[in-house]
Structure 1
């Protein structure tokens, strides 16, 4: 009798407490979201030392899996903010690694350009 009652015409009905099914699981944070964030942080911190490539790659792969699982769970797995932050940190780690590699290549090419080509013989040698 009171299911469709409203407080005033045009307002939302009062009771929505019974919309959730009793067998639905409680929303829980995905454990992979925490792992993605931790690996992304490690990748960002070690990116300049070229060691950030491995954790960044693992973080990006785990984030794909976590997004797939969250979509399949129908909203009962949370942690999308942690996933986004972890992905951003992983990409930052990869960019820092690329910057370090490009810088090392440029420094190596400049040093090779300054080095004399061939043997450096004494001035009195033919």
Structure 2
């Protein structure tokens, strides 16, 4: 075993934090972070149907506002994890929508290239 190292049973000591000032606001969850998460989820779920572009774009705009408000609040607005997840899902929804559009364009170009050109006459016409 290791000599000289001992561990004491029980809980670890907790660092003492100074008391809060009575006029400090209580930490509150950011409502925009919840909205970003919901809109990002909708954007990710409907991204392949190209309908996810609108909620994903709104989610990214709200995320910018939520970050500014959280910074200005001095740490009293919580919900940064939910905000990050919502942003990731919004970007995923936009990527899925772009993938769907590119796929549809490629399919359309291939079908257009396979279509016959000019007028199709019957076999007995010169």
Which category of TM-score, normalised to the shorter sequence, fits these structures?
0.7 to 0.9
Q: Which residue of 2 aligns with 1:24?
A: 24
Under a length normalisation based on structure 2, what TM-score does the superposition of the two structures give?
Answer: 0.85
Q: Which residue of 2 aligns with 1:51?
A: 51
TM-fit CA distance, 1:17: 4.0
RMSD over aligned CA atoms reads 1.5
Q: How many residues of Structure 1 are paired with residues of Structure 2 in the alignment?
A: 113
Q: Which residue of 2 aligns with 1:76?
A: 76
Cα 1:121–1:72 change in 2 (3 A) is same
Q: What SS class does the counterpart of residue 74 from structure 1 fall into? A: coil
Q: Which residue of 1 aligns with 2:121?
A: 121
**Structure 1 alignment gaps of length 5 or more:** 1-13
Q: What SS class does the counterpart of residue 26 from structure 2 fall into? A: coil
Q: Which residue of 2 aligns with 1:88?
A: 88
Provide runs of 4+ in structure 1 moved above 6 Å: none
Q: Which residue of 2 aligns with 1:108?
A: 108
**Structure 2 alignment gaps of length 5 or more:** 1-14
